[in-house]
Structure 1
Amino acid sequence: MTKDEIIIYKNEEGLPAIEVVFGNDTVWLTQQQMQQLFNKTKQNISLHIKNIFNENELDKSSTVKKSLTVQKEGDRSVSREIEFYSLDVIISVGYRVKSVEGTKFRIWANQILRDYLINGYALNHKKLQEQSQQLKELKQAIKLVGAVQNNHLLNHDELKDTFKILTDYVYALDVLDRYDHQQLENEVSGHRGDFKIDYDSALEAIDDLRVKFGGSKLFGNEKDQSFKSSLYTIYQTFDGEELSEYGRKSGQSIIFRSKKSFIF
Structure 2
Amino acid sequence: MVNQIEIYKSLDNKIELNVSLDQGTVWLNRQQISILFDRDIKTIGKHVNNVFEEGELDKKSVVANFATTATDGKTYHVDFYNLDVIISVGYRVKSKQGTQFRQWATQRLNDYLVKGYAINEKRLKEAENKFQELKQAVSLLESIATTKAITGDEAQGLLKVLGDYAFALDVLDQYDHQTLKIVESDNREVFRISYTEAKKAIEGLKIKFGGSQLFGNEKDDSFKGSLETIYQTFDGKELYTTIEEKAAHLLYFVTKNHSFSDGNKRIAAFLFVWFLDRNALLYYLGNKVIDDNALVALTLMIAESKSDDKDMMVKVVVNLINNRKVQS
TM-score (norm 1): 0.45
* Higher CA-based Rg: 1
